[in-house]
A and B are shown apart, each in its own frame.
Chain A
């Protein structure tokens, strides 16, 4: 087994064990919630095992303005859920602009 995924797998199993303990004590949603919360870490363990880290040098971006635009746009759109549809639309447009810009940045970086 690759040591990369071992700690993730170990902790996911511990969580399943405790979830099973709760299921034995009780029934219903709490035990299911607990058992389901092991899923992200087990998925991550499987992904880590399936895709070993690349040995090639990584490209390091110096700065990324579109990421900031995307984040601010998404947050603005979220605040629009209470402030009004107009703000969600403005935020959505900003986020879309940021996403397209980020896509171009990533494409140029990999060229």
Chain B
């Protein structure tokens, strides 16, 4: 007779994992799903760069190319970067604020499953006879009407976007209310860690803008099936207002969490307290409010928006952005900087996002935007913000927090190799696109003038280097989990509460909490110990 100890069967373990309401497991599920969609969308990008490697190639048909750039952009934004950013918050915000759980764990779990189903619905369009959504990630009306883009694939895209956005919205709501309502005693708003403040600002934007996209997708579906919703010239403009009211804040939803993560990394690896904490908090709030007020700069060329207002608010963004950059750099000045892999990715984020930010000033200016709108210059600009910026910020966070999540250290050598491959790949891929755009290469076309061939080939080679860098990163994760080097509770000498518990944290997060007197309680404790007489 076997012993009486209860052993969970694999099926029970799977259900326990998939239906677990532990915020850490829900966040892990979000991370796994977003990684899956990143992989799929990345493969589509490689197919696009293969088509564009030389003029005159017919690697894919014109319609398939439309599907590729639509699903690549949609996948990366709706299904990868936004959920990954919110998933990072779902895991670490409760730990940083000293909470045992998130506010409404069931809502977060519901949000994850709705998001996953939305992503699968979007990608299932490839299985239909008309193909997947093929009207860009913005689905501009009237191109996305049932006349211009008929078929179930585009409908699935619309429904999938609505579901994925609803899922992200619900996850963000749980993070927001965790900060507002579940902070540990002593954790006042002005003692929140930098990352938690960034997440708070992010969730503000999500709460205000994501419902608008869900409504827009509902109206678009009604337009496709019933008609009469977005009719005439004003219909197209009305749709663009609704879409970009979501479409610009979402850029910062994919940016702020990584500013917060990079802030934590920079302070920890500079061995200093974060410089200008209150200025950063104020700048985050101003940045957040302004980010809701700039959507019209995506519509300068329509002639249907107040260019003066939207140009002014877009240029004003440089002020809070400048404060954040100043704080990050001033934190490093005079610090004992350790160039470990998380810090390398953080520096990559700071330098490369700057290129995306500075070229953003060009597109915030109507006369200059008229010249570059719809060209590869725009593609270069937003890839510098979202890939060379946000993706590097995400990897800074992943390399920094991996020991906390898994209890094992990532390999430094492989981490640095993946950083350099990704940095070289990103710049070789995206920098030539600025010149291509200025030379008149339009975006979203599968073919181009022969004189643009060399720069396009260079860009395609860069995309291959990026793919290699991603593979090295995945190999690093695999090897580090298989041959574990134990991390301990706080391998970096970090400053915030999540490092005060075990790695990985227990179900209830903390057995006990240290006193909280600032946004860096562990640094306070170390300084007190050093100051105490021996």
Chain A residues in contact with chain B, CB under 8 A?
3-8, 10-11, 14-15, 17-19, 21-22, 25-26, 29-30, 33-34, 37-38, 40-41, 44, 48, 53, 58, 60-65, 67-68, 70-72, 74-76, 78-79, 81-83, 102
Q: Which residues of B contact A (CB under 8 A)?
A: 15-16, 18-22, 100-101, 105-106, 109-110, 112-114, 117-118, 121, 152, 155-156, 159, 162-163, 176, 180-182, 188-189, 200, 204, 207-209, 211-212, 221, 238, 241-242, 245, 285-286, 288-290, 292-293, 296, 305-306, 308-309, 313, 507-508
Question: A29-B241, A53-B181, A79-B156 known; 20 other A-B pairs, CB under 8 Å?
Answer: A7-B189, A7-B285, A10-B285, A18-B292, A18-B293, A19-B293, A21-B293, A34-B245, A41-B207, A41-B208, A60-B21, A61-B21, A62-B22, A63-B21, A68-B113, A72-B113, A72-B117, A75-B118, A79-B121, A82-B221
A-B contacts, 18 listed (Cβ < 8 Å): A4-B181, A5-B180, A7-B189, A7-B200, A14-B286, A14-B288, A14-B289, A17-B289, A33-B245, A37-B208, A37-B292, A44-B180, A62-B21, A72-B113, A81-B159, A81-B221, A82-B221, A102-B106
Of all chain A residues, which has the CB nearest B304? A30
| Set of chain B residues within 8 Å of A68, measured between Cβ atoms | 18-19, 109, 113
Contact assessment for A18 and B15 in the assembled complex, using a CB-CB cutoff below 8 Å: no
CB distance from A24 to the nearest CB of B (A): 9
Give the distance to chain B from A95, nearest Cβ to Cβ, in Å. 11
Name the distance in Å between B90's Cβ and chain A's nearest Cβ: 15
- Does A33 lie within 8 Å of B163, measured CB to CB? no
Contact residues of A: prevailing secondary structure: helix
CB-CB under 8 A from A25, the residues of chain B are: 306, 308-309
Closest B residue to A17 using CB positions: B289
- Decide: A61 and B105 in contact? CB cutoff 8 A: yes
Rounded to whole Å, the gap between the CB of B28 and the closest CB of chain A is 14
Question: How distant is the Cα of A23 from the Cα of B259 in the complex, in angstroms?
Answer: 31
Q: In the complex the two chains form, what is the Cα distance from A7 to B507 in whole Å? A: 29
Task: Specify the chain A residue showing the minimal Cβ separation from B242.
Answer: A33
Taking CB atoms, residues of chain B closer than 8 Å to A33 are 212, 241-242, 245
In the assembled complex, how far is the CB of residue A22 from the closest CB belonging to chain B, in whole angstroms? Answer: 6
Q: Once bound together, how far apart are the Cα atoms of A55 and B114, in whole Å?
A: 32
Q: Which residue of A lies closest to B111 (CB)?
A: A71
Could you say which residues of chain A place their CB within 8 Å of the CB of B309?
21-22, 25-26
- Give the contacting residue for B117; candidates A30, A64, A75; CB below 8 A: A75
| Contact status B208-A38, CB under 8 Å | yes
In the assembled complex, the Cα of A30 lies from the Cα of B295 at a distance in Å of 10
Q: Which residue of A11, A38, A65 has the most chain B CB atoms within 10 A of its CB atom?
A: A11
* Chain B residues, CB < 8 A from A41: 204, 207-208
Q: How far is the CA of A60 from the CA of B100 in the complex (A)?
A: 9
- B208 pairs with A40, CB closer than 8 A: yes
Q: Determine whether the beta carbon of B19 is less than 8 Å from that of A63.
A: yes
Residues in A with CB closer than 8 Å to B159 are 78-79, 81-82
How many angstroms from the CA of A49 to the CA of B208 in the assembled complex? 19
**Nearest Cβ distance between residue A71 and chain B, in whole angstroms?**
3
A11 to B21, Cβ gap below 8 A? Answer: no
